[in-house]
Structure 1
Amino acid sequence: MKTTYIKLSFAAALLLGVYSCKKGEATVINNDSTASAEYAEIASDSISSVATMKVKDKQFIKTADVNMEVKDVYDATISIEKSVQELGGFVTQSNLRRNILSEDSYNTSDTEAMLVKKYQTENTMQVRVPTENLGTLLTFINDKKLFLNSRVINAEDVTSSIKYAELESKRIKKTGENISQLKTNKDKVNMSNDNMSEENQQQLANMDVTDHLKYSTVDIYIKEPQLRVAEIAVTNTTNIDNKYQFSFVYSAKNAFIEGFYIIQRLIVGLIMIWPFLIISFFTFYFYRKNQSKKKRNLRFAEKSSAS
């Protein structure tokens, strides 16, 4: 009886151990299956926590810079631009371009050819979105990535700058009141103009800070990780060049005409130098005549001396 009880106790312990092991394995598997979901949720929360950070009595100008690779740059661009508009923002720059890495033409027939281009598409964007929607936009952009190269989120604390601007506004206002109490003269006019100019600059700076507090700027660079190939049907230019490269009849006719034009130019050139020809003729004539006269005088002198 005691032996049977021991055996039953051992069997129960063995079954309990197996059950515990299986339960432990099931628990581990369940934890692994939820790990990726929890990581994605943490990543999403990290985007939201940085982009939507709020601190009491603090004001931040928030900007972001995202560099990533996507499956299709054009589709991602359209989606991002649409999302920005839906969130109440706007696009300030979108420079989509295709970088041609190689371009070759292959003849397929006497008249046709195929132009093959290998290229990579990229886009540089700048968008502005209401600051309260910055986290939503970054989460949407993150969902479009194949590979994230870098993501930078900046929150610049401008609380002290805003307080300083308020003090400057009060100072400028007080200065204006003091100037108005002065006696009107040339110096007062100059001081009033300078103070008004400083006030305008301060108001412009305040408007700029207010705008950047309301809207966050996001710079986005996206590209495709692999090359694309475009095949474009074109004309076989090599065959066309060979066809019209040389025509004997046409070239012979042009050569004959050009020769005729050369003869005309020579005749016209001779006509243009007729004064020189006349002068040369008379010069040669008088020279020959003078030489003949000298020869006659020489012969006459020789005859005279001989006689």
Structure 2
Amino acid sequence: MKVSNTKIAILLMGIFFLNACKKQETANTSGFAADSAIVSSENVSDSISYAAKQNIDGKKFIKSADLNMEVKDVYKTTIEIEKYLKNNGGFVTLSSLNSEIISDETYNTSDENAMLIRKYQTENSMEVRIPTEKLGDFLQYINDEKLFLKARNIYAEDITANIQLAKLESNRMQKNGQEIAKLKTTEKKVNLANENESEKNYQQVQNFITQDNLKYSSVKIYIKEPKIRIAEIAITNTKNIDNKYKFNFFYDVKNAFVEGFYLIQKIIVGLFSIWPLLIIGVIIVLFYRKRNTKKNDKFQYEIKK
């Protein structure tokens, strides 16, 4: 019996110890979840900052971004973005703001007035340029303005090799120019010089475009309102106006009399235009009458006979 009590006591102590361990583990897990939430929140900002601001020695990046998000007021957000760009050396290359009309309902409020209830949803597609060193701050500013972020893509195209190739091509064309200059003046020399100069101009334009893309980052922004908006527009009661002028008895009677007179004139003129047919018709009628008359006379003669 003593042994049994001892075993029970040991078993109870074991269960108590396991429960205590589980509680401690649960507490530690909850603390880790809270820390993870904080880290996750920080990572959002850090990911914007690093992806948009990353600088590596010996590397050149052309940076761009795409954003798709919902905002409370599209028009107001558009104005705020434009102000931010203006104050930070950026500019807008495209801003296409549209309001999609969901429905229109007209309610007459008096004989002269009515109210148009329009349900609509506004969206805007923007393409902007921002100095590359301020791209991260700009993306963070837009992120703070959003209600819901659907998608965000940040691109960093490594063009280090392209820049080196452009330098080598410039050196090659310069050497070609020097070699061409040594040739005797002939038609072939002129053609070679023109081709080399054309390649040189093309390369200069490409270098300018590359430097511009390095200096300014392109950002495409699509913003939309999550809910339908309603506009109340005062208009004229067109239905009452239509009814007012739809029918005028005396005016319509006068027009009907005049139109009837013109109709008679048209009929008379039409008859005169077909006078040959009328004459032919009269001749046919007279011929059949005369023929019928002869038949009747012959029939009566035979009866008398």
Q: Under a length normalisation based on structure 2, what TM-score does the superposition of the two structures give?
A: 0.76
Corresponding letter in the other structure for 1:132: E
Q: Identify the residue that residue 62 of structure 2 maps to in structure 1.
A: 61
C-alpha distance in structure 2 between counterparts of 1:269 and 1:201, whole Å: 79
Show CA shifts across 1:192-225 (max 9, x none).
2121111111111110000000000010011110
Q: Which runs of 5+ in 1 are unaligned?
A: 1-20, 292-307
Q: Identify the residue that residue 294 of structure 1 maps to in structure 2.
A: none
1:222 aligns with 2:223: yes
Indicate how the Cα distance of structure 1 residues 37 and 82 shifts in structure 2: closer, same or farther if over 3 A, else same. Answer: farther
Deviation at 1:273, TM superposition (A): 7.9
Deviation at 1:158, TM superposition (A): 0.2
Percent identical residues: 55
Show CA shifts across 1:41-97 (max 9, x none).
332222111100000100000000111111111111111111111111111111111
C-alpha distance in structure 1 between counterparts of 2:131 and 2:100, whole Å: 33
Corresponding letter in the other structure for 1:108: T
C-alpha distance in structure 1 between counterparts of 2:39 and 2:86, whole Å: 30
Matched residue SS, 2:58: coil
Deviation at 1:98, TM superposition (A): 0.7
Q: Number of residue pairs matched?
A: 257
Matched residue SS, 1:173: helix
Give the 5 Å matches for 1:1-307. Answer: 32=34, 39-266=40-267
Matched residue SS, 2:56: coil
C-alpha distance in structure 2 between counterparts of 1:165 and 1:65, whole Å: 28
C-alpha distance in structure 2 between counterparts of 1:195 and 1:103, whole Å: 64
Corresponding letter in the other structure for 2:84: S
C-alpha distance in structure 2 between counterparts of 1:230 and 1:166, whole Å: 59
C-alpha distance in structure 1 between counterparts of 2:169 and 2:269, whole Å: 88
Q: Which runs of 5+ in 2 are unaligned?
A: 1-22, 291-305
Show CA shifts across 1:91-125 (max 9, x none).
11111111101111122222222111111111111
C-alpha distance in structure 1 between counterparts of 2:110 and 2:37, whole Å: 56
Greater CA drift, 76-85 or 184-193: 184-193
Show CA shifts across 1:161-211 (max 9, x none).
000011111111111222222222222222221211111111111100000
Deviation at 1:263, TM superposition (A): 3.9
Deviation at 1:266, TM superposition (A): 5.0
Q: Identify the residue that residue 305 of structure 1 maps to in structure 2.
A: none
C-alpha distance in structure 2 between counterparts of 1:71 and 1:215, whole Å: 28
Show CA shifts across 1:109-149 (max 9, x none).
22222111111111111110100000010010000011000
Show CA shifts across 1:263-285 (max 9, x none).
444566677789x69xx79xx8x
C-alpha distance in structure 1 between counterparts of 2:259 and 2:187, whole Å: 83
Q: Identify the residue that residue 299 of structure 2 maps to in structure 1.
A: none
Matched residue SS, 1:67: strand
Matched residue SS, 2:107: strand
Corresponding letter in the other structure for 1:71: K
Matched residue SS, 1:163: helix
C-alpha distance in structure 1 between counterparts of 2:226 and 2:62, whole Å: 33
C-alpha distance in structure 2 between counterparts of 1:71 and 1:35, whole Å: 29
Over the residues paired in the alignment, what is the CA RMSD in angstroms? Answer: 2.8
Matched residue SS, 2:227: coil
C-alpha distance in structure 1 between counterparts of 2:151 and 2:100, whole Å: 22
C-alpha distance in structure 2 between counterparts of 1:153 and 1:35, whole Å: 24
C-alpha distance in structure 1 between counterparts of 2:263 and 2:178, whole Å: 92
C-alpha distance in structure 2 between counterparts of 1:159 and 1:37, whole Å: 37
C-alpha distance in structure 2 between counterparts of 1:244 and 1:238, whole Å: 10
Corresponding letter in the other structure for 2:207: N
Corresponding letter in the other structure for 2:175: K
